[in-house]
Structure formats: C-alpha cells, structure tokens
Amino acid sequence: MDLRRRSRRATLALLGLVPFAGVAAGVARARDYTARRISGGRWLCPEDDCGYVYDPAKGDPTQNVPPGTALEDLPEDWVCPWCGLPHERWL
C-alpha cells in the first residue's frame, strides 16, 4: 500500500513537470531558429555560434543566388553556407 502511494506521487510529479519542459523547449526553439534582422535589411544566421549574415542585396554567389533575392525567396534547398542550417529554419 505504501508502494502504491509513492508511485502515484511520482506520476503526479511527472504530469506536472513534463508539459512545463515541453513548453519551455518550444519557446527556446522558436527563439533560436528565426533569423534576426540586422542593419541594412540583412539577416543573421539563427545558429548561435555561426555568425553568417545573409545580405539580400548581394545574394549568395556560392549557391547561385543572384543579388536582390529576399530571404523568403531563397531556394528551398538553400542552406547557410557556413553552418549548413536549412533555409526553413531561418523563417
């Protein structure tokens, strides 16, 4: 009987903690993986340690992206040239 009571308490603790952790992770992911707009209409790679800046005025010559291509108009298979983060993670 003592065992059963203890296990129910553990279950209640899990029910309280797991949804909270899920929400926290969702918030962190949303913040981490959206490109930040910086000066000059440029975009900073969402990957924390990357530092690559996409400049729509210049495009990305390494992936045949012509100058004047907006971030949202980049090809679907475009990736960050420095860290490889997929295009969809920038938006």
CA distances from 4 to 15, 18, 19, 57, 71 (A): 17, 21, 24, 66, 56
Applying CB under 5 A, the span of 20-28, 61-69, 70-78, 83-91 interacting with Zn ion comes to 83-91
Applying CB under 5 A, the span of 5-13, 24-32, 37-45, 67-75 interacting with Zn ion comes to 37-45
Applying CB under 5 A, the span of 7-15, 21-29, 60-68, 72-80 interacting with Zn ion comes to 72-80
What's the rounded Cα separation, in Å, for the pair 19 and 35? 27
Neighbours of 78 (CB within 10 A): 19
CB nearer Zn ion, residue 32 or residue 73: 32
* 83 contacts 52 by C-beta, under 8 angstroms: yes
Does 50 help bind Zn ion (rule: CB under 5 A)? yes
Does 45 help bind Zn ion (rule: CB under 5 A)? yes
- The residues that touch Zn ion, with contacts defined as CB under 5 A, are 45, 47, 50, 52, 80, 82-83, 85
